Amino acid sequence: MQKYGIEKIKTIGDAYMCVSGVPDQNNSHALNIIYAAFELRDFVQKRIQELKLQKRPYLEVRIGIHTGSLVAGVVGSKKFAFDLWGDAVNVAARMEQSSEPGAINISEDVCQLVKNNFELEFRDEIEAKNKGKMRMYFVKKAKMKP
């Protein structure tokens, strides 16, 4: 995460929530988070192969990415926590929930920011909880190295 300037927010059960472009805005936030997602996915897939060879249990990863406005801040008076709120956070969660193991699922908004940098697979409009049908894309690979 540090390599791409990404801020870990928290873990929620088996979910890892992070953000790019906060607290310092940058024009490459969508690219940065996708490059980090590739590395995270590849690490997990390599580990899965090792565990399969050892006939040990393993976990898979689904990744969901969205971009948009949000509110960020520190909450708490005795125990402080940096957190995020807003519709963009909820849509990102829907992207993850609608993804598949080993896949990086992005929203239409992210697609518009990164379509020149990555090969994308349009998935159709998929029903997302409390959001209705949303256009989603799998990120297949980078068109060029970062």
Domain that holds residue 35: 2-142
Mean pLDDT of the chain: 92
Q: Are 105 and 118 in contact (CB under 8 A)?
A: no
CATH code of the domain containing 90:
3.30.70.1230
pLDDT at 125: 92
pLDDT above 90 for 109: yes
Q: What is the pLDDT of residues 64-102, one digit of tens each?
A: 999 998 888 898 889 888 888 999 999 999 999 999 999
pLDDT at 100: 95
Count of structural domains within the chain: 1
Instruction: Let me know if 114 is exposed, middle or buried by CB neighbors in 10 A (0-12, 13-18, 19+).
Output: buried
Q: What is the pLDDT of residues 47-71, one digit of tens each?
A: 999 999 999 999 999 999 999 988 8
